Amino acid sequence: MTPIAIPSPNLMPVYAEIFLMVSASAILLIDMFMAKRSVAYYLSLLALVGCAVLSYADYSAGTTVYTFYNMFVSDPMSNLLKLFTYLTVAMTLIYSRQYAGERGMLSGNLGGEFYVLALFSMLGQMVMISGNNMLVIYLGLELMSLSLYALVALRRDHAVSTEAAMKYFILGALASGFLLYGISMIYGATGYLDITEIARMVAGGTVNHSILTFGIVFIVAGLAFKLGAVPFHMWVPDVYQGAPTAVTLLLGGAPKLATFAIVIRLLVEGLLPLAIEWQQMLLVLAVLSLAVGNLTAIAQTNFKRMLAYSTIAQMGFVLLGLMTGVVGASALNINTAYSAAMYYAITYVLTTVGTFGLIMMLSRAGFEAEQIADFKGLGKRSPWFAIVMTVLMFSLAGVPPMMGFMAKWAVLQSVVNSGMVWLSVVAVMFSLIGAFYYLRIVKTMWFDDAVDASPIAVPADMRAILSLNGIAIFVLGVVPGSLLTACLHSMTKTLSS
């Protein structure tokens, strides 16, 4: 029998993933023989730089390349999201080094596992972002989730963290089950797992519409779990509060970009002809998230829990952008709406990273700066970092000229262009309600007397990156054109390929 020649896949689009996988494995082995945990820290940052160089080369090319039999795609959207994923994880590691070291997460039996698990989690996010096959996307999701489960439970002697890990694991498994069941129904209706082929079958109108609709319901439910949208938000406040702050940042930062990507892959690229079905579900999720997130956050005294409900509300705005791409049977608004949602997701992640970085800056061994009252008098203790936090809070509240204002404006513009003016009014009203708890932080920092007047010791790298983080949020609000253009360009090129 003549052997069948199987063509070798093109590895160039996967160089960044291969490099990260090899680097993370090597860092894990190297850390076993190193007494200083700083070696794993610097090697992890070096690995992120290498990934950024590889992905930027692909982004500069501006082409769409499929490989591994169309299961993996490198396109402008995936490469831009990957670049911001690297930036987010790098900032997270810089902000977390002192915090994690003081809590025994980088000493004794716990060495470089924190960095290695963070890198493997990011590898899962990269697979999610570039997956063009439903099974590949699911594998990336599980790689990310399993790494995050382990990170939440990394402090094994800490009861609250262990409880948070159990809640996250159980509800995360439920979300994965929803998503997998939805994928199985889509596969049963179309006979394909390849997103391109699914789109072709759905557009042909020869598949069972009822089975597809049931599949979409379960897929949207699974994605809503990962985004933390109401009513699938029950894990977010408890896990954000219970996990170590460094891990909370790994949970609330880059994974949102990966989840945004798979929403685009599954719903827009794969199931766009059925937009009328999933848009109605996203509408309900968006309004409920805006209402529950903003109203519940007002009653919180724990800063991390407040930020958890803030995240729920912010995801409501992302969902608004995702649901306004198609109006009736017209897709004229598709590029501007989805690029606005992408810009909003990036804005949220950059702002959230800085906010949790400042929480870790104020924390020290034996003390967690988790209460809003812990920020009293920060304007007198450290005026510069109080200014940075003010910029971040203004951005989350949507106060001009911060980056968050431009993000909200872009999403609201897409909502108005879709003809749903009433929905934009609802979003603005809930944003005004949400501004209260953000401005309360500003008032606490500048007008309340400090409970703790001790000096704040901040490592030089953390001080520099936190400062740049705050400056970037301000500058990208004043001159947002470059990033908005990049999002529009990448989304246009991706959806037209």
Would you state the pLDDT for residue 210? 87
Give the chain's domain count.
1
Query: pLDDT per position in the chain (497 positions), as tens?
Result: 556 556 677 788 899 999 999 999 999 998 888 766 678 889 999 999 999 999 999 999 888 999 998 899 999 999 999 999 999 999 999 998 887 777 666 555 556 788 999 999 999 999 999 999 999 999 999 999 999 999 988 877 777 888 888 889 988 888 899 999 999 999 999 999 999 999 999 888 788 888 998 999 999 999 999 899 988 888 899 999 888 888 999 998 889 999 999 999 999 998 888 888 898 899 999 999 999 999 999 999 899 999 999 999 999 999 999 988 776 656 667 888 899 999 999 999 999 999 999 988 888 756 777 888 888 888 888 889 999 999 999 999 999 889 999 999 999 999 998 888 999 999 999 999 989 999 999 999 998 887 776 777 788 888 999 999 999 999 999 998 899 999 999 999 988 87
Q: How far apart are CA 74 and CA 15, in angstroms?
A: 11
Residue 449: inside a domain: yes
Which residue do the tokens 């800063």 mark? 303
The verdict on residue 3 lying in a domain is no
b or e along 457-469 (b: 16 or more beta carbons within 10 Å of the residue's beta carbon)? ebeeebbebbeeb
194, part of any domain: yes
The reply to whether 7 falls in a domain is no
| Residue 408 domain boundaries | 13-496
Q: Is 8 domain-assigned?
A: no
Exposure string of 266-301, with b = 16+ CB inside 10 Å and e = fewer, is bbbbbbbbbbebbbebbbbbbbbbbbbbbebbeebe
Contact present, 309 and 400 (Cβ < 8 Å): no
> Domain for residue 6, yes or no?
no
Q: Is residue 1 part of a domain?
A: no
In a domain, 282, yes or no: yes
pTM of the model: 0.94
